[in-house]
């Protein structure tokens, strides 16, 4: 069987399973099965599909038909131009989180704290972009910390990144120029509306703190100011409807000049505030 025939079959199989963009995902999974970059698939289409690749493709399609995200099947996600290992223990880094990266890189920093690091995408990107900086990443999940450590190794950043299990800042010591976080922020009532890819496959600890979705911001607002150095900045990702509420939490915690920043689609996505000096 040629790869082209297998790809046509695969697209129909994913479409029948209700996968939203079956042709794109079939192509990505074929590339994964062949061990080639997605932009090389076209060149391989007229070749026969080797038996090992066919078996790999079949397993990947079966997983995708169960609505497992492509990134978990391939084990990779590109974020800010770098490849991160992704497993079912971590949030799949989202393009909108690049808004937080862009905002953080507007200012100098030497010491960074990333709260709820997951795959390590935020801390490791910031360290890669600022070769003099060092950082601490915390997460409640030991399995997520293992993934983040693997990413630090593969990106050559392990010497500048430390990882620690902590319930937000409970086990954190020291002061930082920059504290960043993309905490779980989906309200409990919104969980049922998520796509199966997110609701059934991503860790719930990464998605929701329960209740109104603001609990992590309350804790971070209460705990972070004591760990901000002079002129230190706190920056968090938010859901598009949460800007005002989070800015008010930060102001009530004694932080000032809270700004709400938009993502590439014009939605509120980041709240940034400074320590009052
Ligand atoms: C939305 S994910 C963000 C992951 C990653 N920073 C990113 O942006 O792709 C939230 C992360 O917070 C972690 N988390 C949830 N509750 C926590 C807590 N109480 N203390 C520390 N981390 C927590 C989760 O395990 C998860 O890795």
172 close to ligand 1 (CB < 6 Angstrom):
no
Helix runs in the chain, H state only: 3-16, 22-34, 41-44, 51-65, 70-74, 98-104, 121-129, 142-154, 196-199, 204-207, 215-223, 243-252
Query: Starting at the edge strand that comes first in sequence, how are the strands of the sheet with 111-115 ordered?
Result: 161-165, 134-139, 111-115, 176-181, 228-237, 268-275, 255-262
pLDDT at residue 18 is higher than 90: yes
* CA dist., res. 105 & res. 130, Å (int): 8
CB count within 10 Å of CB 182 equals 26
Residue of 86, 148, 205, 221 to mutate, ligand 1, most atoms within 8 A of C-beta: 205
Helix runs in 89-214, H state only: 98-104, 121-129, 142-154, 196-199, 204-207
Note the pLDDT tens digit of each residue in 196-226.
999 999 999 999 999 999 999 999 999 999 9
Distance from the alpha carbon of residue 205 to the mean position of ligand 1, in angstroms: 7
Using pLDDT thresholds of 50, 70 and 90, give the confidence band for residue 257: confident
Identify the pLDDT of residue 70: 98
Identify the pLDDT of residue 195: 96
* CA dist., res. 55 & res. 30, Å (int): 11
Residues forming a β-bridge with 272: 235, 259
Contacts of 32 by beta carbon, 8 Å cutoff, 6+ apart:
56, 60, 73, 74
Using pLDDT thresholds of 50, 70 and 90, give the confidence band for residue 12: very high
Note the pLDDT tens digit of each residue in 222-247.
999 999 999 899 999 999 999 999 99
The pTM score is 0.96
Mean per-residue pLDDT for 76-82? 97
Identify the pLDDT of residue 277: 66
168 close to ligand 1 (CB < 6 Angstrom):
yes
Quick one: what percent of the chain has pLDDT higher than 90? 97
Residue of 89, 140, 220 to mutate, ligand 1, most atoms within 8 A of C-beta: 140
Identify the pLDDT of residue 258: 84
187 close to ligand 1 (CB < 6 Angstrom):
no
Tokens coding 263: 């993502």
Which residue has the least CA distance to atom 13 on ligand 1?
116
Ligand 1 atom nearest to 116, measured from its CA: 12
Mean per-residue pLDDT for 240-268? 95
Angle at 105 between CA 104 and CA 109, to 5 degrees: 80
213 close to ligand 1 (CB < 6 Angstrom):
no
Identify the pLDDT of residue 127: 98
Query: Length of the chain, please?
Result: 277
Using alpha carbons, select from 156, 101, 105, 164 the residue that is nearest to residue 137: 164
72 close to ligand 1 (CB < 6 Angstrom):
no
Identify the pLDDT of residue 259: 94
184 close to ligand 1 (CB < 6 Angstrom):
yes
Note the pLDDT tens digit of each residue in 148-184.
999 999 999 999 999 999 999 999 999 999 999 999 9
Cα 129 → chain centroid? 17
Quick one: what percent of the chain has pLDDT higher than 70? 100
Average pLDDT, the chain: 97
167 close to ligand 1 (CB < 6 Angstrom):
yes
Identify the pLDDT of residue 51: 96
At residue 29, what are phi and psi to the nearest 5 degrees?
A: -75, -30
Residue of 139, 190, 214 to mutate, ligand 1, most atoms within 8 A of C-beta: 139
Identify the pLDDT of residue 23: 98
Tokens coding 265: 């689609």
139 close to ligand 1 (CB < 6 Angstrom):
yes
């Amino acid at each position: 069987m040629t790869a082209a025939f297998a790809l046509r079959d695969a697209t129909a199989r994913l479409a029948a399973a209700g996968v939203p963009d079956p042709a794109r995902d079939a192509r990505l999974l074929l590339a994964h099965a062949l061990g080639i970059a997605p932009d090389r698939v076209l060149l391989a289409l007229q070749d026969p599909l080797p038996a090992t690749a066919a078996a790999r493709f079949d397993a990947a399609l079966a997983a995708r038909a169960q609505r497992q995200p492509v990134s978990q099947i391939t084990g990779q996600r590109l974020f800010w131009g770098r490849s991160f290992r992704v497993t079912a223990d971590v949030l799949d880094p989202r393009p909108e989180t690049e808004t937080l990266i862009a905002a953080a890189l507007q200012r100098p920093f030497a010491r960074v704290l990333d709260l709820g690091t997951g795959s390590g995408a935020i801390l490791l990107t910031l360290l890669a972009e600022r070769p003099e900086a060092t950082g601490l990443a915390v997460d409640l999940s030991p399995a997520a910390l293992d993934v983040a450590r693997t990413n630090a190794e593969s990106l050559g950043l392990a010497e500048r990144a430390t990882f620690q299990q902590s319930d937000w800042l409970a086990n954190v010591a020291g002061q930082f120029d920059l504290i960043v976080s993309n905490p779980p922020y989906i309200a409990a009532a919104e969980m049922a509306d998520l796509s199966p890819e997110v609701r059934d496959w991503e860790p719930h600890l990464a998605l929701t703190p329960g209740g109104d979705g603001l609990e992590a911001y309350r804790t971070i607002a209460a705990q972070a100011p004591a760990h901000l150095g002079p002129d230190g900045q706190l920056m968090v990702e938010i859901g598009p409807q949460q800007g005002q509420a989070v800015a008010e939490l930060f102001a009530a915690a004694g932080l000032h000049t809270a700004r709400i920043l938009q993502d590439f689609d014009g939605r509120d996505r980041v709240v940034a505030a400074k320590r009052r000096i």
